[in-house]
Structure 1
Amino acid sequence: MKPTTFAIRGAVCFSTAPEKLTCFENAFVICQNGRTVGVFPQLPAQFDGIPVRDVGEQLVIPGMNDLHLHAPQYAFHGMYMDLELLEWLNQVTFPEEARYRDLSYARKAYSIFAEDLQKSATTRACIFATLHVEATELLMDLMENTGLRTYIGKVNMDRNGTAELQEESAAVSTKDTIRWINDTAEKYENVKPILTPRFTPSCTDALMHALAELQKTYGLPVQSHLSENQSEIAWVHELCPNTSFYGEAYDQFGLFGGINCPTIMAHCVYSSDAEISLMKKRGVFIAHCPQSNTNLSSGIAPARRYLDEGLRIGLGTDIAGGHSLSMLRAIADAIQVSKLRWRLVDDSLKPLSLEEAFYMATMGGGAFFGNVGTFMENYEFDALILDDSILRHPQPLTARERLERLIYLSDDRCITGKYVSGNKIF
């Protein structure tokens, strides 16, 4: 039987606000019934005798939350990085995703993805599958067994795909989506469904109307893409001449946030003032994907502006536009591209700090899942244990310095322990 109350002792670092990183050189993080009690320099008397995992000088940090990645694309991550978004989709991504109609291939590919994600710094994620119901349910089965908490979406796309990767009609797409929702309802402890219109160019108005009705009926969250690439934005304007900006293409159907429709929009590289205002009003979560936006030559999202204006923002690896599953790498990438944006695009927006990018990877993205992403009281107990002992140095380093070093070196082999809602993954 798993202990319901336990502690981890080590060097502890966690966010309490975007600009605030709290670090203890030696402290106890206490978990009770899957939630954090707090961080203490000494074990409080009322917890004497509870199991303690003493990790010595290793770092203990909150788990990390990947707000945007594509599981079927993991099969070709690290390849075809010389293409821009739309040609990358048509030449590489769509042909690869079409292969997932073959369940034997899907099992092979998704098993690799699930095993690697389980070993990574990610404890929670929002994941795109493909339009295939059976393969999506297979992915959900595999992810359930990892112990990670994930939202997984069957993709909807009834136009502008390929002969091999496009649903026959809005009616067929809707019928398959209902079947998928009913097949997976109440089936899992760790996995939840999320409605996933690929992006506006892939979905007819009829399909978007139908998805809006499903969203209301089942109360599901939504994930999609927004203002990633200038050619994409121009295409959306052609397809939706009745809208003044990209976000309205979703909002006109009620699929753009609001109290009853939690929504993640990935990228937001070129969001207009009006779009930003609407995202803030609707509480839309932005999944900032710096590595993908670099690889596909999309641009640099104004993450500083989003933080300063109080929008909800987290990080995404965006496999396979991004080439690394590492959320540590995503933090470093976010900081680095913000420096380029400050230097080359807009010097009024100062670069992100380590504290802010770490916050985005933990508390910022974690908010989509509830009270997640920190070691403050009553937050769900998601934790990583990081061993940097193989990284030699001649001088004494603080816990913060060691954390920064691990983030920039981004080697997930340093992860020696992982917990999700108090459950030990390894």
Structure 2
Amino acid sequence: MTDYTHIFQGTAFSSKSPTEVEILKNHLFCVNTNGIIEKIVAPEDNDYQTLLHMYDGKENFHRLAEGQYFLPGFVDLHVHAPQWAQSGTALDIPLFDWLNTYTFPIESRFSDLDFAKKVYEDVVSTLLANGTTTALYFATVHKEASILLAKICAEKGQRGLVGKVVMDDHEQTPEYYRDADTKSALEDTEQFILAVKELAKSVKQGVYPVVTPRFIPSCTSEGLQGLGALAAKYDTHVQSHCSESDWAHGYVQEKYGKNDAFALHDFGLLRDKSVMAHCNFLDDADADLFAQTGTAISHCPISNAYFANSVIPVAHFHEKGVEIGLGSDISGGFSPSLFDNIRQAVMSSRMLEDGVNPALPATERGVPNSRITVNEAFYLATAGGGESLSLPIGRLAENYTWDVQVIDTTIASAKFPLYDANEELHDIFQKIMYLARPENIREVWVQGEKVHSRM
């Protein structure tokens, strides 16, 4: 019989499909030396008792206590790592003003590597403590600080996809914070890609370079074209913002005579490894283009409540075959927790379906068939994120990585209302989705390695 590096015993919840949650009651999860789930064994399987006999009592056997459950690690598809320094502030002003008054001044400080190290170590640790095992990061325009973020992800055990931000349009970016010119922006990006690829050779859980035009308003056409070429040359992931707000959407239409999606596609930036944040103003043709190119959407429901001027029709885009995951959008979104964003995703979808203007008749107030369930929001935060990144993550299934949160419902300061010993497991799952706080996350594992624990 195979010699496993770890065996875990307990009840797990994982997405079976975008709408269904699979409950794996008291299963064994057999993890190999590469941190991959090699085998999952149900209690009724022939080798269940054999494996228990072989491993029970050994150091590499891990049995969940009563009231503890496994969840897949969360996949956060949109984090502005430097903005952790301003999280929770200035969310009451329009996007354009917010960027220029608060965000760009903060990000400009990351030329100071000591400051960058302090913030980046904190944000990676915070996200891990909130159950985020994989994060897709925007860094800043600074090459060295962006490489530093990738190194910190590597050291702390988080799977980090990191982008050096490009802002080379001098008409649309402040003098104190932008790339010197298009040529240097592209050269720095290429050097960044090569440095992170070299770093990745020694990182078990993986770190990845990401081609990152901030958004079309911050970049020249030449810069966007060059970034598309670099993404193709090195087969990297791509990230940007797309059709987020009235202002951003209107700017691109005025400049290029088309929506963001088609403009980005013209520059070679929509591909199977592309993730575009927000996308609230995509029309059906845009969504079809996303589905055709394999481009995914990062849905950022808390941030969208502040800056997007709309609610994204997640259910409609899913029906059209678009891959969708969930993003916190620190710090446009104030919370580092995807639990909070799962909850907001459900609430926002209900508001879109039911409408919010009582002056209108109920039949005219909302957009029919827009609601999503908590099962679907959980999928966005886990399996949907993995599919969006084309990585074997986000599910507790064979040949997927052992990226896991251990949820403890019995913590004295955050105890769940579970009084019936025979309570349905799906009801417990729902309570976890709506009630879990960081203190309920007892342990976090990435690629078979424990990276966070709470005593």
Give the Cα–Cα distance (whole angstroms) in 2 for the partners of residues 350 and 251 of structure 1: 27
Partner residue in 2 for 1:374: 395
Where does the alignment leave 5 or more consecutive residues of structure 2 unmatched?
356-364
Contact 2:81 2:139 in 1 (8 A): yes
Deviations 1:245-274 (A, max 9, x none): 21111111111114xxx1000111110111
Amino acid aligned to 1:41 = P
Give the Cα–Cα distance (whole angstroms) in 2 for the partners of residues 95 and 410 of structure 1: 34
Count of residue pairs brought into register by the alignment: 419
Query: Aligned pair 1:415/2:410, yes or no?
Result: no
Contact 1:371 1:378 in 2 (8 A): yes
Give the Cα–Cα distance (whole angstroms) in 1 for the partners of residues 236 and 354 of structure 2: 41
Give the Cα–Cα distance (whole angstroms) in 2 for the partners of residues 100 and 52 of structure 1: 43
Partner residue in 1 for 2:322: 311
Partner residue in 2 for 1:384: 405
Instruction: Report the alpha carbon displacement of residue 110 of structure 1 after superposing the two structures with TM.
Output: 1.4
Partner residue in 1 for 2:450: 424
Matching residue within 234, 258, 277 for 1:218: 234
Give the Cα–Cα distance (whole angstroms) in 1 for the partners of residues 152 and 254 of structure 2: 40
Give the Cα–Cα distance (whole angstroms) in 2 for the partners of residues 46 and 378 of structure 1: 22
Instruction: Report the alpha carbon displacement of residue 382 of structure 1 after superposing the two structures with TM.
Output: 1.3
Paired residue secondary structure (2:77) = strand
Contact 1:59 1:403 in 2 (8 A): no
Instruction: Report the alpha carbon displacement of residue 9 of structure 1 after superposing the two structures with TM.
Output: 1.9
* Equivalence map 1:200-239=2 (5 Å): 200-239=216-255
Matching residue within 371, 375, 378 for 1:355: 375
* Equivalence map 1:17-416=2 (5 Å): 17-33=17-33, 34-36=35-37, 37-41=39-43, 44-45=48-49, 47-48=51-52, 49-50=54-55, 51-57=60-66, 58-159=68-169, 160-188=172-200, 189=203, 190-241=206-257, 244-258=258-272, 262-344=273-355, 346-367=366-387, 368-390=389-411, 391-393=415-417, 395-396=419-420, 397-416=423-442
Amino acid aligned to 1:23 = I
Contact 1:77 1:320 in 2 (8 A): yes
Question: RMSD of the TM alignment (CA)?
Answer: 1.7
Instruction: Report the alpha carbon displacement of residue 298 of structure 1 after superposing the two structures with TM.
Output: 2.8
Give the Cα–Cα distance (whole angstroms) in 2 for the partners of residues 290 and 39 of structure 1: 36
Give the Cα–Cα distance (whole angstroms) in 1 for the partners of residues 341 and 290 of structure 2: 23
Give the Cα–Cα distance (whole angstroms) in 2 for the partners of residues 353 and 30 of structure 1: 31
Instruction: Report the alpha carbon displacement of residue 30 of structure 1 after superposing the two structures with TM.
Output: 2.6
Give the Cα–Cα distance (whole angstroms) in 2 for the partners of residues 271 and 309 of structure 1: 12
Partner residue in 1 for 2:361: none
Paired residue secondary structure (2:198) = coil
Give the Cα–Cα distance (whole angstroms) in 2 for the partners of residues 7 and 385 of structure 1: 14
Query: Between the two proteins, what is the percent identity of the paired residues?
Result: 32
Contact 1:9 1:55 in 2 (8 A): yes
Give the Cα–Cα distance (whole angstroms) in 2 for the partners of residues 313 and 412 of structure 1: 24
Give the Cα–Cα distance (whole angstroms) in 2 for the partners of residues 128 and 203 of structure 1: 15
Paired residue secondary structure (1:12) = strand
Instruction: Report the alpha carbon displacement of residue 369 of structure 1 after superposing the two structures with TM.
Output: 4.2
Partner residue in 1 for 2:7: 7
Paired residue secondary structure (1:10) = strand
Contact 2:13 2:23 in 1 (8 A): yes
Structure 1 length-normalised TM: 0.94
Give the Cα–Cα distance (whole angstroms) in 1 for the partners of residues 49 and 410 of structure 2: 31
Contact 1:24 1:399 in 2 (8 A): no
Deviations 1:190-227 (A, max 9, x none): 31101000000111011112112212221111000111
Amino acid aligned to 1:8 = F
Contact 1:9 1:26 in 2 (8 A): yes
Instruction: Report the alpha carbon displacement of residue 39 of structure 1 after superposing the two structures with TM.
Output: 4.8
Amino acid aligned to 1:424 = K
Contact 2:9 2:26 in 1 (8 A): yes
Instruction: Report the alpha carbon displacement of residue 230 of structure 1 after superposing the two structures with TM.
Output: 1.1
Give the Cα–Cα distance (whole angstroms) in 2 for the partners of residues 41 and 81 of structure 1: 50
Deviations 1:304-335 (A, max 9, x none): 11222221011000000001111111111111
Give the Cα–Cα distance (whole angstroms) in 1 for the partners of residues 425 and 102 of structure 2: 42
Give the Cα–Cα distance (whole angstroms) in 2 for the partners of residues 307 and 395 of structure 1: 37
Contact 1:16 1:376 in 2 (8 A): no
Structure 2 length-normalised TM: 0.88
Amino acid aligned to 1:425 = V
Deviations 1:358-400 (A, max 9, x none): 1111111112142221122222221110001132536323332
Amino acid aligned to 2:76 = D
Deviations 1:334-368 (A, max 9, x none): 11110001111644224111111111111111121
Q: Which aligned segments of 4 or more residues in structure 1 are displaced greater than 4 angstroms?
A: none
Give the Cα–Cα distance (whole angstroms) in 2 for the partners of residues 420 and 40 of structure 1: 23
Instruction: Report the alpha carbon displacement of residue 299 of structure 1 after superposing the two structures with TM.
Output: 1.8
